[in-house]
Homo-oligomer: A and B are copies of this chain.
Amino acid sequence: MVGTRAKHLLVEYEGCDPAILDDLEAVRGLMRQAAEAAGATVVAEAFHRYRPQGVTGVLVIEESHFSVHTWPEHGYAALDFYTCGDCVPERADAILRVALGAERAEVVLVDRGLRLETGSMQLHFRAAEKVAARGSG
């Protein structure tokens, strides 16, 4: 990884399709599709299905990671798209929001990383901001 500056999207979806949220292979396939759309390169992955329900999965990418946690019983999913470099994590959000059938979404963007250009090595947590409010649901 070159450069420490990263965009971290914290994403929550409500009103999703429970069948998809409980289907590990479907979720895995959508996450990989979203990573590709964002311009990320997947280098490792780990997925797990909970009993009685729910899926968790993480893609390790060259540019950091994507994660997903689902609660089919509540139609709810929580995702993170953490990317360095030239990735566009917003594209991952756009794809998954539709594919999971989300009725409402909230997205918070957090800038992370060091300010190398100032030479100060100052940590840079810009305040989280809501970049997409509830949808039409």
Q: How far is the CB of A72 from chain B (nearest CB, A)?
A: 11
Nearest 7 A-B pairs (CB), nearest first?
A44-B46, A46-B46, A128-B128, A58-B58, A106-B123, A46-B60, A43-B48
Q: How many residues belonging to A are interface residues under a CB distance threshold of 8 Å? A: 46
- The chain A residues found within 8 Å of chain B, CB to CB, are 1, 4, 6, 8, 10, 12, 14-15, 43-48, 50, 54, 56-58, 60, 62, 64-65, 67, 69, 71, 74, 76, 78, 80, 82, 104, 106, 108, 110, 112-114, 116, 121, 123, 125, 127-128, 130, 134
Q: Are A54 and B1 in contact (CB under 8 A)?
A: yes
Query: How many copies of this kind of chain does the complex include?
Result: 2
Q: Which residues of B contact A56 (CB under 8 A)?
A: 1, 43, 60, 64-65
Q: Are B112 and A128 in contact (CB under 8 A)?
A: no
A80→B106 CA distance, assembly (Å): 19
Q: How far is the CB of A71 from chain B (nearest CB, A)?
A: 5
Q: Are A44 and B48 in contact (CB under 8 A)?
A: yes
Q: Are B10 and A125 in contact (CB under 8 A)?
A: yes
